[in-house]
Amino acid sequence: MASNQQYFNRRLHSLLGVIPIGIFLIQHLVVNHFATRGPEAFNQASHFMESLPFRYALEIFIIFLPIMYHAAYGIYIAFKGKNNTKHYGFFRNWMFVLQRFTGVFLLIFIAWHVWDTRVQAMFGQEVNYQMMADILQNNWMFAFYIVGIVSATFHFANGLWSFAVSWGITVTPRSQKIMTYVSIGVFAALTYVGVAAALAFV
Residues in the chain: 202
Task: Read off the CATH number of the domain in which 26 is found.
Answer: 1.20.1300.10
- Cα–Cα separations (whole angstroms), residue 96 to 10, 13, 84, 101: 15, 15, 9, 9
φ, ψ (nearest 5 deg) of residue 25 = -60, -45
| The residue type at 101 | F
pLDDT in tens, 184-196: 999 999 999 999 9
pLDDT in tens, 17-42: 999 999 999 999 999 999 999 999 99
Residue 77's nearest CA partner among 170, 166, 194, 175 is 166
Residues 114, 120 contacting (CB under 8 angstroms) = no
Measured from the Cβ of residue 32, the count of other Cβ atoms closer than 10 Å reads 21
Which structural domain range is residue 123 located in?
2-200
Q: What is the DSSP letter of 84?
A: -
Number of domains in the chain: 1
Give the integer Cα–Cα distance in Å for 84 and 169.
21
**Residue 71 DSSP SS3:** helix
| The residue type at 22 | G
Return mean pLDDT, the chain. Answer: 91
pLDDT in tens, 53-111: 888 898 899 999 999 999 999 988 878 766 554 556 788 888 988 999 999 999 999 99
| The residue type at 33 | H
Residues 93, 83 contacting (CB under 8 angstroms) = yes
